[in-house]
């Protein structure tokens, strides 16, 4: 058995159907060492953390 997610209600379940819709496997995205956009995600995350720190000050 694998954990699945209902796309309608966003709940996690072990069932194949939820709210009349098929559920999908809830898995994390695969790690790719040659990720083209990792640098930009890190920059965006850094900017967000800096903004939240400024709000706290």
pLDDT given at position 57: 57
Q: What is the pTM of this model?
A: 0.46
Given the candidates 2.20.28, 2.20.100, 3.30.390, 1.10.8, the CATH classification of the domain at 4-56 is 2.20.28
- Cβ(39)–Cβ(49) under 8 Å? no
Give the rounded distance of the alpha carbon of 35 from its chain centre.
17
| Rounded mean pLDDT for each run of 10 residues along the chain, 57 residues in total | 89 92 85 82 81 64
Write down the domain spans for the chain: 4-56
In whole angstroms, give the CA distance from residue 10 to residue 14.
13
């Amino acid at each position: 058995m694998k954990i699945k997610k209902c796309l309608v209600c966003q709940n996690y379940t072990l069932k194949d159907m939820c709210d009349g819709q098929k559920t999908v496997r809830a898995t994390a995205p695969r790690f790719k060492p040659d990720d083209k956009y990792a640098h930009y995600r890190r920059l965006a995350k850094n900017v967000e953390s800096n903004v939240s720190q400024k709000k706290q000050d």
